[in-house]
Amino acid sequence: MNFKLKVWRQKGPNVAGQFVDYEARDIPADASFLEMLDIVNEGLIKRNEDQIAFDSDCREGICGMCSLVINGIAHGPGKAKTSCQLYMRRFKDGDTIWVEPFRAITFPVVRDLCTNRSALDRMIEAGGYITARTGSAPEANSIPIGKVVADLAMEAAACIGCGACVAACPNSSAMLFVSAKVSHLGLLPQGQPERTSRVVSMVRKMDELGFGNCTNHYECEAVCPSEISASFISRLNRDYARAATRQAAVLV
């Protein structure tokens, strides 16, 4: 298959970028999108041109490293997949394809299609954990957890932390990401002691880092490769409201 690519090239964080045209020729239909870019890059190197920088590692949709906006959609067309899981058979021969980095103020471009998403780590550091000193844990089966609750916690925990939700949101909100962690830990009995402080600290950190508010566009849910449900955002809002009243009560 052959494609025309329009790829965002940008030398570094502080210089202007632009779209550059490339031809992708003789691409096998079974190649993945990233393998297509590999082929284009090998061609560029042979012509002594700098390869297109893009992030990837596992290439099986779990590490969250790949992060492309393809034809205007974070992770490209199709439901519940990352950029690395997109296969060229999905496109038509001769298609023109636009490739850009994830766009958000909180994700500055570092080069071409790579961004700095460390703001996501900062929010986990603010409270996205359960304090459990190594070696101090009780016997694992001492607290049974109903399957329904455990399964729901797993659904939230499945977030791969890629940041597509932020890139897709018109407000660059990280509410889906934060709500997934707050729900995962808040649903489990082990997460109860820090439930209040966790939600408050994480939301505060999110605001401080410059992520926007959620105004119910649901674009996040639509692009999420792990199919994290936007209903977790409602759960977050409830937890946050509850936490605010509790904290007020403690302060009085």
Partner 1 sequence: MATTLDAKIPTGPLEEKWQKHKNESKLVSPANKRKLDVIVVGSGLAGGSAAATLGELGYNVRCFCYQDSPRRAHSIAAQGGINAAKNYQNDGDSVYRLFYDTIKGGDFRSREGNVYRLAEVSVNIIDQCVAQGVPFAREYGGLLANRSFGGAQVSRTFYARGQTGQQLLLGAYQALSRQIAAGSVKMYPRTEMLELVVVEGQAKGIITRDLLTGKIQAHAGDTVVLASGGYGNAFYLSTNAKGCNVTAAYRAYKRGAFFANPCYTQIHPTCIPVAGSYQSKLTLMSESLRNDGRVWVPKQKGDKRPPDQIPEAERDYYLERKYPSYGNLAPRDIASRAAKEACDTGRGVGPGGLGVYLDFADAIKRFGEKTIRERYGNLFDMYHNITGENAYKAPMRIYPAVHYTMGGLWVDYNLMSNLPGLHVLGEANFSDHGANRLGASALMQGLADGYFVIPYTLGNYLATQMGKKVSVDRPEFKAAEQETRARIERFLSIRGKRTVADFHRELGLLLWEKCGMARDAAGLKEALQRIPELRQEFWEDVNVLGGGEEFNQALEYAGRVADFLEFAELMCLDALERDESCGGHFRVEYQTEDGEALRNDDDFCHVAAWQYAGPDSRPIRNVEPLIFENVKLAQRSYK
Residue 200 or residue 223: which is nearer to ligand FES going by CB? Answer: 223
C-alpha distance across the termini of the chain, in Å:
68
Residue 77 or residue 215: which is nearer to partner 1 going by CB? Answer: 77
For 195-215, give one letter per residue: b (16+ CB within 10 A) or e.
Answer: bbebbbbbbebbeebebbebe
Which one among 1, 73, 145, 209 touches partner 1, defined by CB under 8 A?
145
DSSP designation for 94: T
Which one among 4, 20, 93, 132 touches partner 1, defined by CB under 8 A?
132
Which one among 21, 92, 94, 136 touches partner 1, defined by CB under 8 A?
136
Q: Which of residues 30-69 bind ligand FES (CB under 6 A)?
A: 56-59, 61-66
CB of 130 to ligand FES, least distance (A): 25
Cα separation, 180 vs 120, in Å, equals: 12
For 14-32, give one letter per residue: b (16+ CB within 10 A) or e.
Answer: eeebeeeebebeebeeebb
Residue 66 binds which entry of ligand FES, partner 1, none, CB below 5-8 Å type-dependent: ligand FES
Q: Sign of torsion, CA 13 14 17 22?
A: negative
By C-alpha distance, which of 175, 52, 170 is closest to 114?
52
Amino acid, single-letter form, for residue 27: I
Which one among 10, 82, 173, 226 touches ligand FES, defined by CB under 6 A?
82
CB of 136 to ligand FES, least distance (A): 33
Cα separation, 60 vs 75, in Å, equals: 13
CB of 189 to ligand FES, least distance (A): 31
CB of 54 to ligand FES, least distance (A): 10
Residue 82 binds which entry of partner 1, ligand FES, none, CB below 5-8 Å type-dependent: ligand FES
Q: How many residues bind partner 1 (CB under 8 A)?
A: 76
Binding site for ligand FES (CB under 6 A): 56-59, 61-66, 82-84
